């Protein structure tokens, strides 16, 4: 029997609520007689805006309160932007579905310049990501990169007040909030490789809730699931967190049968960067994980673990 009532836990930012409402609409389409509501919540990651994520506990700060709501029975599922989800799920929780992926690329947003190449020496570029910072510094060392926190609307307001000359933001978020007119240029992977899971939404539930997992299963996108799983496996193997500049990006061939995965790990200023890539025919989940392991092994052979260890010194 379909569920009679479901509660979705979500952060209260406009983008997070869009994501929750998107899942709400998809589930309503599957189960029109089910009452589906959204429980908006403020997380520690939303509250602490004067420090970078890498200094206050990382990605888990955006989901802990939502997980507590699941544990306490206040909500049945939580919707996350997957790039905000830690690589290791806490015991008792699982990502039961990865949805169709939005554009995973980074976007250059500015009121003054059309591209990173146009930015003069000393211009201020805002980003919340060490991954972006490392890659941009390597290619554009004269740009002044400034830490950026806050939700998407807050960040754009800071740009409009002149606090920044430009920003790097996720294309997916801008697209979902119908703000693509703010994008001056899409940043190609050759210039800035995306984060693992960027552009994808994930649904988290209690792992014991097998029946709910079955209800949610029709929302799974198999192509996105294999892509994101391969990407996240690289980051998982390398201890991926907000404190480490790691990127991983998987793309399908034109037949959607062969997956190509490229990843990198870097120091903060981009002066030391290790890259690896591999391709494989993917027909089931385990092969996507294997591909992630192949790329992670190559990074490790080339010194990734030593580079990561040096970041703590």
DSSP 210-244: HHHHHHHGGG--HHHHHHHHHHHHHHHHTT--TTS
Question: CA dihedral in degrees (213, 219, 223, 227; nearest 10)?
Answer: -60
Is residue 84 annotated as a catalytic residue, yes or no? yes
For tokens 């479901």, the residue is 6
Name the residue among 124, 103, 105, 129 with its Cα closest to residue 113: 124
For residues 261 and 234, give the distance between their C-alpha atoms in angstroms, rounded to a whole number: 10
- Say whether 49 sits in a helix, a strand or coil: coil
Backbone angles phi, psi at 110, to 5 degrees: -160, 150
Cβ(273)–Cβ(265) under 8 Å?
yes
For residues 157 and 161, give the distance between their C-alpha atoms in angstroms, rounded to a whole number: 6
Q: Which of 46, 76, 84, 165 is catalytic?
A: 84
| CB-CB neighbours of 217 under 10 Å | 11
Residues tagged active-site: 84
């Amino acid at each position: 029997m379909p569920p009679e009532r479901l509660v979705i836990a979500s952060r209260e930012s406009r983008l997070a609520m869009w994501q929750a409402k998107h899942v709400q609409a998809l589930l309503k389409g599957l189960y029109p007689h089910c009452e589906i509501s959204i429980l908006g919540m403020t997380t520690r990651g939303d509250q602490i805006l004067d420090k970078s994520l890498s200094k206050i506990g990382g990605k888990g700060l955006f989901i802990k309160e939502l997980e507590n709501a699941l544990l306490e029975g206040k909500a049945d599922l939580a919707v996350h932007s997957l790039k905000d989800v830690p690589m290791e799920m806490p015991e008792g929780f699982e990502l039961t579905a990865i949805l169709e992926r939005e554009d995973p690329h980074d976007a250059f947003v500015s009121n003054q310049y059309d591209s990173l190449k146009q930015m003069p020496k000393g211009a201020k570029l805002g980003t919340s990501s060490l991954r972006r910072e490392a890659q941009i510094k390597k290619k554009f060392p004269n740009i002044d990169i400034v830490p950026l926190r806050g939700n998407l609307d807050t960040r754009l307001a800071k740009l409009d007040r002149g606090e920044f000359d430009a920003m790097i933001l996720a294309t997916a978020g801008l697209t979902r909030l119908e703000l693509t007119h703010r994008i001056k240029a899409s940043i190609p992977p050759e210039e800035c490789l995306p984060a693992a899971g960027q552009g994808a939404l994930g649904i988290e539930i209690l792992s014991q809730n097998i029946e709910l997992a079955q209800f949610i299963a029709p929302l799974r996108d198999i192509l996105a699931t294999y892509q994101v799983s391969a990407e996240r496996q690289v980051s998982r193997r390398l201890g991926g967190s907000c404190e480490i500049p790691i990127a991983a990006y998987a793309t399908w061939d034109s037949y959607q049968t062969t997956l190509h995965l490229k990843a990198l790990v870097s120091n903060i200023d981009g002066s030391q960067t290790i890259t690896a890539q591999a391709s494989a025919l993917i027909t089931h989940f385990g092969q996507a994980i294997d591909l992630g392991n192949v790329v992670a092994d190559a990074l490790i052979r080339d010194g990734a673990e030593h580079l990561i260890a040096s970041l703590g010194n």
